Amino acid sequence: MSTENEGTAVPPAPSAPPVPVDAPAASAQPQPPAPHTSHPAPGSPEAPASAPEAPAAPPAQAPAPVTQAHQAPQDQPAPQGGEAPRTPTAPDASWPPPPPPGTPAQTPAYGAGGGDGFGHGDGPGEGAGGGAGGWGAAYQQPAPKPGRGRGGLLAGVLIAALVAGGLGGGLGYTLARNNDGNGSTTVSASDTGGSVKRDAGTVAGVAAKALPSTVTIQAEGSNGEGGTGTGFVFDKEGHIVTNNHVVAEAVDGGKLSATFPDGKKYDAQVVGHAQGYDVAVIKLENAPSDLNPLPLGDSDKVAVGDSTIAIGAPFGLSNTVTTGIISAKNRPVASSDGSADSKASYMSALQTDASINPGNSGGPLLDAQGNVIGINSAIQSTGNGGFGTGQAGSIGLGFAIPINQAEFVAQQLIENGKPVYAKIGASVSLEETTNGAKLTEQGVGGSDPVEKGGPADDAGLKPGDVITKLDDRVIDSGPTLIGEIWTHKPGDEVTVTYERGGKQHTTEVTLGSKVGDD
């Protein structure tokens, strides 16, 4: 499986559109330059293109480079035109969030045609255009190029730091999509090694215990297209936790199945899905009575350097186990759907160098004791990969949703069928040029940039304020703020540090709530 790096673009960083901080609604985005060869990334087609012949990681000194715009499984035309990216505003009271700002134009994402994100697509769905709406405003996207079927999950476009200093502390934008099924190979089930005994504290011992509780998920939409992902047993009732983008194709009239390592296959139904969090719960039909839920760890207690074990079905190779370490914590990552009603996901992710590839999406990231500490969701990659699909593969930059957040979301989905989001009640700019998250001066469609009587208003925040910290977390951008807010629950009280008129202030904000993705 080669992961050749062809057509990688490293365009200048575009400015990002303003968006809401809580449960934001789809907003138009900036229009970064599009890669000139086979890997356009989502974003608006208006930005000038800059595509170096030889793909390479963005220079470390660049403040906000587009490191890899690889996501498309096939060549796609780069958008024309050289207009400067627009910076629309978006009300945070609306939903869903827009695709990540600054994502290169034309990279499909979850569900978009095209195929290399964790879970989606085959034809290249386009990134959001630069409409003037905020979260919830429809984006404008070029028509997707016809593509092949889908069949695997994960691929990433990571736009480097929003501030000087490369990736450190910057906001990563990762667009996850599905494998290209027509280019993949059918591989028979592997031997999980259950007959070979190993000590419980070894990687082999952890894998032997965890594999029987991990499933390969096949999702098929009503149009016959679908993808492959991973999930794990959450409880004895047959609930399986995975990524939203893994099952998105099957939500409306589609089909789902989950296959265990022993070959037993079960039909399944979507219990609930959260697009903003990129978490979903499905339930097995006629679930077996001997299910063993994977034990959940505490992602807040994970340390950089801790060992990690990832389980999934990379490129359709079920029951694959890879290892690594936690290479960073609290990495701001945004992932987006390239479809017309695209909705972005934001996370403060665990970063790992364990090999994560298309098909790992939704699978468990375990610690050395076999406890789930995260859900593998996205990767950064240098460009298209091999395996006959032109998909990108692992370069040691994988991102997982912390399990403490995912567990809360999963419980909400099981109990209510809908996610609950914490919100601050204000519109925030997505511009990458700010050293913080700026509350916009005006809302979208006549709405108030700071919701009257909302959490931000009650705390004394005003349009134009720039939030620089949320509790002890440094906030360098609007998307970073959104991801951090979503690590909290409605009703939590947070300390907000902000700048106004050149002076620094602090205030206490009690977070509000938003139910559902609509």
Catalytic residues: 245, 278, 361
C-beta of residue 466 within 8 angstroms of C-beta of residue 429:
no
Residue 297 in tokens: 């760890």
DSSP 8-state secondary structure symbol assigned to residue 49 = P
For 284-341, give the DSSP string.
ETT--TT--PPPB--GGG--TT-EEEEEE-GGG-TTEEEEEEEEEEEEEEEE---STT
- Report d(CA 196, CA 187) in Å as an integer: 22
> Residue 199 class from Cβ within 10 Å (0-12 exposed, 13-18 middle, 19+ buried)?
exposed
- Report d(CA 351, CA 356) in Å as an integer: 11
32 upstream amide cis, omega within 30 of 0: no
Phi, psi of 170 (to 5 degrees): -85, 175
Based on its alpha-carbon atoms, the radius of gyration of the chain, rounded to whole angstroms, reads 21
Side chain identity at 338, as an amino acid letter?
Answer: G
- Report d(CA 242, CA 256) in Å as an integer: 12
DSSP 8-state secondary structure symbol assigned to residue 412 = H
Burial annotation 131-156 (CB, 10 A radius, 16+ → b, else e): bbbbbbbbbbbbebbebbbbbbbbbb
Length of the chain: 518
C-beta of residue 68 within 8 angstroms of C-beta of residue 7:
no
Nearest residue to 38 (alpha-carbon basis) of 11, 80, 4, 12: 4
Residue 268 in tokens: 């399944």
- Report d(CA 384, CA 254) in Å as an integer: 29
- Non-local (6+) Cβ contacts of 36 within 8 A are 7, 9, 49, 51, 78
For 366-378, give the DSSP string.
E-TTS-EEEEEEE
